[in-house]
Amino acid sequence: MRVIGHLESESDARRFGDYLYLQGIINQVERQKDGRWAVWVHSEDQLEKATEELARFRGNPADRLYLAAPAEARTQQTEEAKSVAYTRTRYIDGRIRLGVSVGFRPGPLSLALIAICIAVAVWSGVGSDPKVLNGLFINSLRITDAATEWDGGLPDVRRGEVWRLFTPMFIHFGLMHLVFNLFWLSDLGSMIERRQSTLALTLLVLVSALATNLAQYAASGPLFGGMSGVVYGLFGYVWIRGRFDPGAGLYAARPMVTIMLVWLVLCMTGLIGPVANTAHAVGLALGMAWGFLSSGWLQRPRV
């Protein structure tokens, strides 16, 4: 959400805001300390159009299109409210019950990541073939009957096998591990990809994978794998970005938040076996920080 400009009077600002609303541009106006009124536009994709509309408004704020906007906006809002109320009587929103983003068709990157995880699961016998996994771990292992050993300092990466910094996210140990991670990857990844862009999801996945894999390696060595560190990064981003920037179109329902946080704590208890808890925690913290900083909340003026 960004400021596209300022208007001197409240009446002009609110009239222009109503006009933008009628054009399908979600916005809000806020009074500044200097007495002027800032016009905020929620969607990055609509900034150019909104800026052009502001220039036209400044040229002739008394145009009948703008003078009629408040009444027309109130009428449209009333009709939309009635429509929403009627719709809620006809069905139960799955997002409220389950906390998932019903209606988001998986984007190309989400589908590609899911396909790679499934292919690796089939190729490795769902994490049971050490020869396959050895090429995907962040560090190669020497496996003998007596022990499993490795050289510290990421020697494979330093020799040029940079992909190892990311490929552990494709490894899954067991069917439930795979299904759980791919369910949330599809849900969260599709939401980000459809509401923002494939590039935005790509950056989130790569940075989350890199940070969580390095953190887990530092904590426990190279014997780990799974998409859950990335999933927690995506969850943290959606959760906090949605709270501080509703116009971003991202939404983490309360059931989703509850499930993800309870699972995080449950894994830390050790009751469900060895889990990459460091990757979970680092992914969540990274995603939350990214969501907060990208929301623009710190840059917004305070009245």
Catalytic residue among 101, 280, 294, 295: 280
Q: Which residue, chain included where needed, has tokens 């940079």? A: 162
CA distances from 152 to 40, 56, 158, 221 (A): 51, 63, 11, 8
User: Amino acid letter at 275?
Assistant: V
Catalytic residue among 101, 124, 208, 228: 228
- CB-based burial of residue 14 (10 Å sphere; 0-12 exposed, 13-18 middle, 19+ buried)? middle
* CA pair distance 34, 31, nearest whole angstrom: 8
Give catalytic status of residue 6 as yes or no.
no
CB count within 10 Å of CB 12 equals 18
Q: How many residues does the chain have?
A: 303
Q: Where are the beta strands (DSSP E) in the chain?
A: 2-7, 27-31, 37-41, 142-143, 148-149
Give catalytic status of residue 228 as yes or no.
yes
DSSP state of 230: H
Q: Closest Cα to residue 282, out of 290, 270, 292?
A: 290
* CA pair distance 250, 191, nearest whole angstrom: 7
φ and ψ at 52, to 5 degrees? Answer: -65, -40
Residues serving a catalytic function are 228, 280
